[in-house]
Amino acid sequence: MTSTADSMAGDDRRNASDITGVLVLAACAAWSLITAGAHDGRPEGVLLAILALTAGYASGRILGALLPVAAPCAGALAGLGLAITTPHTAPGAQLASPLGHSGATTALLALSAGAACCAAWAAHPQPQRLALRMLAAGITVTAAVLGSTTGFVLCAGVLLCSLAAARMRRRALGLAGLGLTATLMTGMSWAMTENALPDGLTDALEGPLTQHRILLWRDALHLAREYPALGAGPGRYGELSPTVAQSLPPDGKPHSAPLQQAAEQGVIGALLLAAVFCWVLYALWRTRRPTPIALTAGAALTALAVVASVGNALSFTTVTAGAGLLAGLATARPLSEEAPERVTGSTGGRPES
């Protein structure tokens, strides 16, 4: 009777997170169409990102149920392959800052490291688990070889968070910490735009971020203030930004997902972007997968949020699809019951509050 009750409670939790996800993503799609209609914008990019995220999440749920170890391992290898073979990922100036393709490469490497660590936690034979952790370490080294310092730091952080997750008694605390990290990073970019940081910290950050990027952020903030309710319209930032007009070659992006949402879709658009991230953390909290898997996926997705707050990673379909895939893998319910972890602070297959 107790087992049946626990199973029903788990199904209710999963249904609640699924319904929440459907509502949030539907609201994002609807709001992009509303703001596009108000200012003759182009919502295709936003709708494509939502579609890629949804497709990746659905695929992850299916593959994670059928192949809880092989699917995330294959996803890690696929992400690593894309990061290496994508154009403009050769060592050099393009990887010196997280603009453009280098931001996508950094995000793919972080997601790949997270997928490899999730596969390691799902594997039970110790040799297999060790091999998968070595894969995650190899992805981290690859980031350094490619010249992506940011990618190396984020991949190493994901790997360390995954190892530390085994000692966490309550996943809610870990997920809350990850959410706070993403919030602080977003706040930092906003404060840089407003010149609200101390001079020493501003000077230290301005070098890696580049003055050009900060000018792009200021243009986005100006548009957000000029069009606070509905934004300037999806896809219209490039037309209205003076900095983009002077850029060679221009790409029409402010290289900060929160600021782009605020500029093009107003305050509500920015809040909906935050709601998507909060929904993912909520789904990881509710999942019946072991706590280390939930926290590892959360760490990788937080790394993506950090890159997206100062770069253009979410403009690449492979990144949004990969994020959805990892979230789906971490919230899937394998057809075969997973054994509880035999380590302090683990809860096996039951989520903790």
Mean pLDDT of 271-299: 96
Closest CA to 60 of 69, 71, 52: 71
pLDDT at residue number 86: 72
CA atoms within 13 A on the CB side of 87: 2
pLDDT at residue number 239: 87
CA atoms within 13 A on the CB side of 278: 11
Mean pLDDT of 235-248: 82
pLDDT at residue number 202: 79
210: left (phi over 0), alpha (psi -120 to 50) or beta: left
Lowest mean pLDDT among 37-46, 82-91, 160-169, 334-343: 334-343
Lowest mean pLDDT among 65-74, 146-155, 200-209, 271-280: 200-209
pLDDT at residue number 93: 36
- Provide the H-helix boundaries in 67-198: 70-85, 101-122, 126-145, 149-164, 171-194
What is the DSSP code (8-state) at residue 252?
A: S
Mean pLDDT of 257-281: 96
Residue 192 burial by Cβ neighbours in a 10 Å radius (0-12, 13-18, 19+): buried
pLDDT at residue number 13: 61
Q: Is the peptide bond before 254 cis (omega within 30 degrees of 0)?
A: no
Tell me: pLDDT of 303 over 50.
yes
- B/e letters for 27-38, b = 16+ CB within 10 Å, e = fewer, are ebbebbebbbeb
Q: How confident is the model at residue 342 (pLDDT cuts 50, 70, 90)?
A: very low
* Contact (CB, 8 A) for 195 and 202: yes
100 or 275, which is more confident? 275
The span from the first CA to the last CA of the chain, in angstroms, equals 22
pLDDT tens digit sequence for 173-222: 999 999 999 999 999 988 888 888 887 887 788 777 888 888 999 999 99
